[in-house]
Structures are given as C-alpha cells and as structure tokens.
Structure 1
C-alpha cells in the first residue's frame, strides 16, 4: 500500500511529521593581516596590531618582498642567429660549388685541346707517310704531269 512509485513518492495514506528547520547563527567576520613568509637567517622585530574589533595581534614585522629584476631579452633572437649562420654556410657551399664547376670546365677544355692536338699530330704523321717519296722507288707507279692546254672546253694533252 505505501510502496514507492517510479518517481520516489509513496502511494496510499501518508503520515505527516513535524519539520524542524535549523538556521545557524553567523560568526562575526575577522580581519586578519596577510601572512608573509619570513626569510631565514634574519629575525625581524616584534610588532602588535590592534584590529577594529578590539583584538590585539602580535607578530613579526616583515619587509615587503622585492620583485626579482626582469632579465633583459637579447637584442637578436636565437632563431635569427641560426638563420644567419645557415646563410653563411650556404654561401660557403655555393662558393665551393662555383670553384668546382670552374675546375670541371677547365678540365673539359684541357681534354678537348689534348684530343685536338693528338688528331693534328696523328693526321700529320699519316700525311707524311702518304706523301713522302720513300717507298715509291720499288715498284710504285710514277705519274708524269705535263702541261695541258684547254681551249673551248677541249683538252689537248
């Protein structure tokens, strides 16, 4: 009969009970001084402070904490220095590559000149062998060239 429903309420006859509401009494706010850490090695002087509600608080007077000095940033960032060093290295490599290409060009010109010189020398040797009179005396053909007269496209030899 007084079974719970899916919504958490009981069905059927319900008995009422007295409800007691408890309201707490608020505490008076207290004003306390902020805590400041004391540096070890120095003993500050003892001081007393009178709070507005009449209480006396005794403690050590602490000097205000000085902020750390701000470290100045370098004028040039590390990334800029790295980029500059990379550029210097790239220029050094480019200079080396320029010298390398100059060397290869000079070597190619030298090889070309050597081949041309060899062709001229070898061709001259062959020409001397062909046109020299040595070796024609023993069975070679001798051709005598005499004056020929050409008149009106007719050869008179």
Structure 2
C-alpha cells in the first residue's frame, strides 16, 4: 500500500495592495475574499461560500383551504336547494291550475251535453198523422 499524504492548505493573509483611493465599503455587503495556497504552489482566491439557508416556511392560515371550499360548496348547495324548492312549488301550483281548468271544462261540456239530450226537441221527430177526419164510434178508432 502506498502512503497517503494529506496536505492542509494554509490561508494567505491579504496584502495591502491598492491601486486607487480606498472606497468605503459597508461590512456585510461584500463577502470576504479568502486565498489558499495549494501544495503545488498555486494560489486560489475566491469568496467564501455560506451554507444555503432554507426558505422560511410560510405561516399556515388559521382556516384550511379545504374547509373554505366545503363551506362555499355548502352555500352554493343551499342556494340551489332554495331554487329547486321554488321550482317545485311553481310546478305544483301549475299542476293544480291545469287540473282545475280540466275539471271546469268537463263540468261545462258535460252540462251542455245533458241539456242537449234532455231538453225537448225543437223540431218534431217521427211520423206525423193527420187525424181530423177520423171518426171515433163507441171507443173504437176508424181511420
């Protein structure tokens, strides 16, 4: 087995190299720059990465959406039931009106038929016999 070498990079302290006037920087707006010397002599400079922060969890509402949807559905159902109740009441009243009109028509038409059947005729029906010259003797008719 080969021996394993572990190299620990040593951070380099930044040198004061400025090319212009210093610019005031608020702490926290610019991340710190870190430089590291690798075992082969190369220098790596970069920003230190911060661990990812989880997104803040949104506060749950006091009432769940399912409960709100059920309540809205119940209100809609009640509105439909009220409309259906009015519709059935209207249909019942219309049926009663039609029944009364049919009964009235039957009574009027039946009365007209009865008057036609049971009233005396205006024109004579049957055979007409002229009996002016007939002679009745001793309760016998000789015609």
> TM-score of the superposition, structure 2-length normalised?
0.49
TM-score by length of 1: 0.45
Q: Which has the higher contact order (CA 8 A, sep 6+)?
A: 2
